[in-house]
Structure 1
Amino acid sequence: MSNNLLKLLLLLVTAISISAQKKNNFDQACERTSSITAYKDLPKAIKTADSLYRVAHQPLEKVKSLMLSSELYHHGGDLKKAICYSENAHSLIEQAHDKEWMARVCKLLARQYRQVGLYERAKKYIIKGLGASREISNFQNSNEVEGLLNQEMAFYEMEVGNYVNAIQYIEFSLKNFGKIDSQNEDRTEAASYQLLGDVYFKLNDYAVSENYYRKAEDLLKAGSCTLGLVYNGLGGIRVKQKNWKDAELYLKKAENIADTSRSLKLKKAVYSNINDYYEGIGDNFKASLYAVKYVRAYDSIEVRNQGFSGKSKEVAKINKGNGQMNVAKNAAIIILFVSLVGLIIFFRRRQKDSLQS
């Protein structure tokens, strides 16, 4: 081999190594900001994510930083900005033609739209994400993302009351997770079992429901939000069975996790079941206390969603009438999309300015 060719190969290897290191550093910065900084100082984490977007050179890096910003705003309860960042990530990934990250962005958007009650728009992104996930060349990543999207479709089916369809999609997700070997496999599989427990609880099949909750419990680490939902489900079964001693045991475990969690969904579910428990044993004073806690969690979710949709308090009061409710809902959706379009135009102009500078 000639000296010139050897030098060329060394330069190529060095360049690839540096490029890989830069990518690793960028991904590590995103992960560090998401998992550590956000819990210590959310405003600082948001600024860091914005800085990552500005220094990103590749479209995929910009997509990752936008998704990070979206998750951080979601974490802080600002769903309007969260969805705006996700929509911009979706716009960019369409230009990059990356199937894996297209599927991941669609998964994020589907979850966010579902949580604000725009179920059909959520379903649109699930279907698009599932299509992209099946075109991912990496077998592990394809099944992981498809499994998560099948989980999301199960959530959608539960929200609209199609429990049989929900079971089918959860089973699809478990087949996906059964084909892969990853660090997140236990956690994602446990979420599917917990969801099956919820579905069968809704169907009043408590024996099957408990069986799936137990499968989830075996896979989960102490303190996780999903484990809180599992204990809450087990406590709910005991309340239905009027087994007050065991109900108290499981609901206390669920409450310990809920009280240290930021999940309003978990708090709302747990406080509802504890209220039912105290109503069942005739302790009206404690039942009232947890009714207040439940209402606070419920109101926090409503305030967050109203902030997203642009509803005013006056509109919320008018919504009591069925005919007026439809008008208000349509108006809220119009306001929502006008706001989103404005924010999306702003960010796209900012992207162009960044590329030109």
Structure 2
Amino acid sequence: MRTTNTSPLRVAIIGAGQVADTVHAAYYATRNDVQMVAVMDCHLPHAQAFAQRHAIPAAYQDVSQMLQEAKPDAVSVCSPNRFHFEHVMAALEAGCHVMCEKPPAMTPQQAGQMRDAARKAGKVLAYDFHHRFSRDAQLLRDAFTNGTLGEIYVTTAQALRRCGVPGWGVFTNKTLQGGGPLIDIGIHMLDAAMYVLGFPAVKRVTAHSFQRLGTQKNRGQFGEWDPTTYTVEDALFGTIEFNNGGILRLDTSFALNIREASVMNVTFCGEKAGGMLFPAHIYEDIDGDLHTLLQREEADDQRHLRSMEAFVRHIQGEPVMIADAEQGLVIQRLVAALYEAAEKGECVELC
């Protein structure tokens, strides 16, 4: 941890895409104690344009060259999912702390190696599961911890889009992405739910996935895509059973004939009260009437920035919560198990 060095934190960014632009570089630029020293992208003109927009002095096309020449203290990995493993491992080997976009990797085996490498190097490895950094998630987590909800036995996490197939990037390419809505947006609500619940031990998972619309349509909320190269699932529905007897139901889709354009939320049913995550609302029933115990008027929209802030503060030695390598591995295992259960059509034991 950087507890005594007062010089600016030297940061490099791998991947010059949208999230690197609007989240990582945008946040680093707000801090006087952070200096962006380099950016790398496999398309050098993208890296050069990115560097110009953010006043970054060096742009690279090769990760090893960037790490060797720029010598960053920390690295943001914002490359496509397939490359998270090699980019995180290279950064850790170079002695850097790492903030990696979700998912951690393509497989639990890779996520496990990343965790082990971070431990060996004594470096921070964090994942940008930013929804858990909302005020809403903290309120629900506190309510669960202090017993306001009682034992939670049914949790429902939803990350649904009616026709929200991303029309950019590699989101419809299973080889590069690892999957569709589950690994892209469902993973966010899964992490938020597991965070509130305190990451209970998992017994088994079951799941069903469908590919009915993405190969038949080519236009939606987020632009156009090529249905002939659409290789990910449209939707996946899973159930996670915990050792404590509770269940977590996960519904996620890029394309599904629902009424709403988008649903991104988690609900919790406890023995004493229930709760909804976005915006935070905790309620109970008294003689058939709903009574509110706590309610926020609108969901917190600063969660992305708080995730980035926690990463920097953790590097600087502050004992703040991050989505760490161990929890990232748990989430990766659950995603893999859900895909496996859907593919095999049978229960996958995890206990």
Question: If the length of structure 2 is used for normalisation, what is the TM-score?
Answer: 0.27
- Of structures 1 and 2, the larger Rg is shown by 1
Which of the two has greater helix per residue? 1
TM superposition score normalised by structure 1: 0.27
Q: Which has the higher strand share?
A: 2
Bigger RCO of structures 1 and 2 (CA < 8 A, at least 6 apart):
2
